[in-house]
């Protein structure tokens, strides 16, 4: 379990949604009895129960995972969304948020959100803090500046590269599949030129000819999609580490992929089908 001391504006600044109840207000800074918990906390300790108004016993000396010190009964006034504090691949742990006036530490963090490039705050924030109190140190051990952005793109670079590579291979496979379906049906139409000519001579409409060719192509596409879905399900464990927010076997993702493949296959079938409607029955019969 993790404990965080925050100010009332923390959740708004960090865009952490309040799922139930309320956030901290001014009165909570003086009473010191209100706390907020995250959804992982509720799932772990109060599954299926209403957490608002329930009592928890914390300790005054809380920092990180510490669980010692003077007991302080507290009341849960709100539930916030889960936050991946330690990386996207680390599941959210139960977290408790208390007002910063309840436990003041030797070091604190000031979080600010900028409407422009965050790099502009690198000089504004230290100057503003020194105007409040010139004696507040703003450096880490060894004199290293403690001011920085919360940019996480660097940590996601490898995942983004893997995603782009997989996306590129998937796009190439989709194009090759479309070309393959088109080529196969074009060859099939050429081989069935005599049959199509007889059908047209016997009164088959253009729509019936198109439907005949498209049905053959979509039958092959359906078999391929079914086999591909089975193979994808077998490889879900390899993809799980690259996904965030969805499961490797998410039904919506599989449905979207199958729909996209079906549309591409339908388009690839339509061109040879339209060409089949232009077959002159006299020419086709004479050709044979």
Q: Summarize pLDDT for 100-128 with one digit per residue, the tens.
A: 877 666 677 777 777 777 666 777 777 88
Residue 63: pLDDT above 60? Answer: no
Q: Identify the residue with better confidence: 146 or 133.
A: 133
As a whole number, mean pLDDT of residues 86-98 equals: 82
Predicted structure pTM score: 0.56
Beta strand pairing status for 34-38 and 55-59? unpaired
Q: Percent of the chain, pLDDT > 90?
A: 12
pLDDT of residue 68: 53
pLDDT at 214: 85
pLDDT higher than 70, residue 153: no
Average confidence (pLDDT) over 237-242: 64
Banded pLDDT at 50 (limits 50, 70, 90):
very high
Residue 109 phi/psi, 5-degree rounding, is: -120, 135
Q: Average pLDDT in the 203-221 region?
A: 83
Average pLDDT over residues 150-169: 75
Task: Strands of the chain (E only): list them.
Answer: 2-6, 18-21, 34-38, 55-59, 71-80, 95-99
Q: How far is CA 146 from CA 142, 152, 210, 249, in A?
A: 11, 17, 69, 42
CA 92 – CA 216 distance, rounded (Å): 50
The C-alpha atoms of residue 36 and residue 99 are separated, in whole angstroms, by 9
Mean pLDDT, residues 250-275 = 82
Model confidence at 40, pLDDT cuts 50, 70, 90, reads: very high
The better pLDDT of the pair 39, 58 is held by 39
Please say if the pLDDT value at position 170 is more than 90: no
Mean predicted confidence (pLDDT) in 21-50: 89
């Amino acid at each position: 379990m993790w404990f965080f001391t925050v100010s009332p504006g923390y959740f708004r600044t960090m865009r952490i949604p309040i799922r139930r109840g309320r956030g901290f207000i001014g009165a909570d800074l003086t009473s010191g009895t209100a706390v907020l918990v995250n959804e992982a906390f509720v799932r772990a300790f109060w599954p299926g129960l209403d957490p608002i108004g329930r009592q928890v016993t914390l300790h005054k000396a809380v920092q990180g995972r510490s669980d010692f010190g003077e007991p302080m009964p507290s009341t849960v006034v709100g539930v916030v969304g889960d936050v991946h504090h330690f990386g996207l691949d680390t599941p959210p742990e139960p977290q408790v948020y208390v007002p910063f006036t309840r436990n003041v530490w030797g070091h604190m963090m000031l979080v600010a959100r900028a409407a422009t490039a965050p790099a502009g705050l690198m000089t504004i924030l230290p100057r503003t803090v020194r105007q409040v109190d010139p004696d507040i140190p703003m450096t880490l051990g060894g004199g290293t500046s403690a001011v920085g952005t919360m940019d996480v793109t660097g940590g996601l670079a490898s995942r983004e590269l893997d995603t782009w590579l997989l996306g590129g291979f998937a796009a190439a496979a989709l194009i090759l599949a479309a070309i393959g379906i088109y080529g196969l049906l074009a060859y099939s139409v050429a081989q069935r030129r005599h049959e199509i000519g007889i059908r047209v001579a016997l009164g088959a409409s253009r729509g019936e000819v198109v439907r005949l060719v498209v049905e053959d192509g979509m039958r092959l596409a359906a078999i391929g999609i079914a086999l591909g879905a089975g193979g994808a399900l077998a490889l879900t464990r390899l993809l799980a580490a690259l996904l965030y927010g969805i499961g490797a076997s998410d039904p919506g993702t599989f449905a979207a992929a199958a729909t996209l493949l079906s549309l591409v296959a339908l388009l690839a079938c339509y061109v040879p089908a339209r060409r089949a409607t232009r077959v002159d029955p006299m020419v086709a019969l004479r050709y044979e």
